[in-house]
Amino acid sequence: MYVVKSPLPDADLKTVSEALQGALVDLVDLSLVAKQIHWNVVGPRFRSVHLQLDEVVDSARRHSDTVAERASTLGVSPDGRVATVAQSSGIGAVSGGWVKDTDAVGALVDALGAVIARMRDRVGATGEPDPVSQDIFIGITADLEKHHWMFQAENG
Ligand SMILES: [Fe+2]
């Protein structure tokens, strides 16, 4: 069913919609992983890491909404269902249970690194077919790289 007419030709729309859908699942998963660790972190640095994780959750939720609504704007139905996220996220599974503060920081360095690498690929893939979506990916990448920097700095 097509309700919203896309401004892009079909071939370009396919590239861009795959990039937006991939970004959506990565960002939803990032928000869930960061919350999971926010609840489970323990150790002397509990408070700073606990609070910092909610900053990542806020970013990830905001950006997930942006990419999902960009997909809708282009006439493509976004899929943020839990089964879809579990199937196609670029973030590796995190273990259950309490997480030592140093491990929590390491887990975020890894998760952010994985999402950033895929986000940079999307920046490259969308420049030609849709610079408007590319601009969104560039902004998201800059924000995630800032979070990535801060978690890496904590384990220095
Ligand atoms: Fe909380």
CATH number, domain at 24?
1.20.1260.10
In a domain, 5, yes or no: no
Q: Rounded CA gap, 102 and 100, in Å?
A: 6
In a domain, 4, yes or no: no
How far, in Å, from the CA of 49 to the mean position of ligand 1? Answer: 11
Place of tokens 């560039």: 138
How far, in Å, from the CA of 54 to the mean position of ligand 1? Answer: 7
Residue type present at position 112: L
In a domain, 34, yes or no: yes
How far, in Å, from the CA of 28 to the mean position of ligand 1? Answer: 17
How far, in Å, from the CA of 38 to the mean position of ligand 1? Answer: 7
Q: Rounded CA gap, 16 and 127, in Å?
A: 9
Please check the confidence at residue 149 and state whether its pLDDT lies above 70.
yes
How far, in Å, from the CA of 140 to the mean position of ligand 1? Answer: 23
In a domain, 2, yes or no: no
CA 7 from centroid of its chain's CA atoms: 25
The range of the structural domain enclosing residue 29 comes to 10-154
Q: What is the mean pLDDT of residues 140-144?
A: 98
The torsion angles phi and psi of 78, rounded to 5 degrees, stand at -75, 145
How far, in Å, from the CA of 116 to the mean position of ligand 1? Answer: 24
Q: What is the mean pLDDT of residues 85-104?
A: 96
Return the pLDDT at 1: 63
pTM listed for this prediction: 0.96
**pLDDT per position as a tens digit, 38-90:** 999 999 999 999 999 999 999 999 999 999 999 999 999 999 999 999 999 99
How far, in Å, from the CA of 112 to the mean position of ligand 1? Answer: 20
CA 154 from centroid of its chain's CA atoms: 21
Q: Which of 27, 58, 53 is nearest to 42 (CA)?
A: 53
What's the number of CA atoms in the CB half-sphere (13 Å) around residue 78? Answer: 23
In this structure, how many other beta carbons lie within 10 angstroms of the beta carbon of residue 31? 20
**pLDDT per position as a tens digit, 65-79:** 999 999 999 999 999
Q: Which of 130, 14, 24, 123 is nearest to 80 (CA)?
A: 24
Structure letter (DSSP) for residue 41: E
Domain count, the chain: 1
